[in-house]
Amino acid sequence: MITVQDILEIPDLNLRLLAGGKSTSNPVRWVHITEVPDPTRWLRGGELL
């Protein structure tokens, strides 16, 4: 399974971690895109927005 750290290390994405530095080894189970200001009611944990 891919982790947050794996995604951060993809050079072409040019990502910068803003919070949760202690959790970069967590697995990402699903990826979502959203325009909803607060999508938390639809999230279960392990998602990448």
Look at the alpha carbons of 31, 7, 23, 36 in this order and tell me if their dihedral is positive or negative: negative
Q: What distance in Å separates the CA atoms of residue 9 and residue 18, rounded to the nearest whole number?
A: 15
- How sure is the predictor about 35, in pLDDT bands with cuts at 50, 70 and 90? very high
Query: Per DSSP, what are the bridge partners of residue 47?
Result: 30
- Per the confidence metrics, is the pTM higher than 0.85? no
pLDDT recorded at residue 46: 84
